[in-house]
Amino acid sequence: MNFIITGASSGIGYQTALAIANDKRHTIIAVSRNKEKLDALSIEAKIVNPNSNLIPLVYDISPDIENNDLLVFAKKELGNVDVLINNAGLLINKPFKELTISDFESVYKINVFGVVKTIQSLLPVMGNPNTHIVNIGSIGGVEGSMKFKGLSAYSSSKGALAILTECMAEEFKEMNISVNYLALGSVQTEMFSEAFPGSRAQVKPKDMAKYIVEFAINGADFMNGKIIQVSKSTP
Ligand SMILES: NC(=O)c1ccc[n+]([C@@H]2O[C@H](COP(=O)([O-])OP(=O)(O)OC[C@H]3O[C@@H](n4cnc5c(N)ncnc54)[C@H](OP(=O)(O)O)[C@@H]3O)[C@@H](O)[C@H]2O)c1
Is any ligand 1 atom within 6 A of the Cβ of residue 85?
no
In 49-144, alpha helices (H) = 69-77, 101-108, 114-122
Of the candidates 45, 60, 74, which has an alpha carbon nearest to the alpha carbon of residue 7?
60
- Domains located in the chain, CATH noted: 2-230 (3.40.50.720)
- Predicted confidence at residue 235, as pLDDT, reads 60
Q: How far is the CA of 166 from the centre of ligand 1 (A)?
A: 22
Pocket-testing residue among 4, 5, 6, 12, ligand 1, by greatest number of atoms within 8 A of Cβ = 12
Q: What is the pTM of this model?
A: 0.98
Is any ligand 1 atom within 6 A of the Cβ of residue 138?
yes
Using DSSP's 3-state secondary structure scheme, residue 79 falls into: coil
- Predicted confidence at residue 38, as pLDDT, reads 98
- For residue 114, the tally of other CB atoms under 10 A from its CB is 24
pLDDT mean values, one per 10 residues, the chain (235 residues): 98 98 97 98 97 98 93 98 98 98 98 98 94 98 95 98 98 96 96 93 96 98 97 77
Q: How far is the CA of 57 from the centre of ligand 1 (A)?
A: 16
Is any ligand 1 atom within 6 A of the Cβ of residue 54?
no
What CA–CA distance (Å, rounded) separates 39 from 55?
10
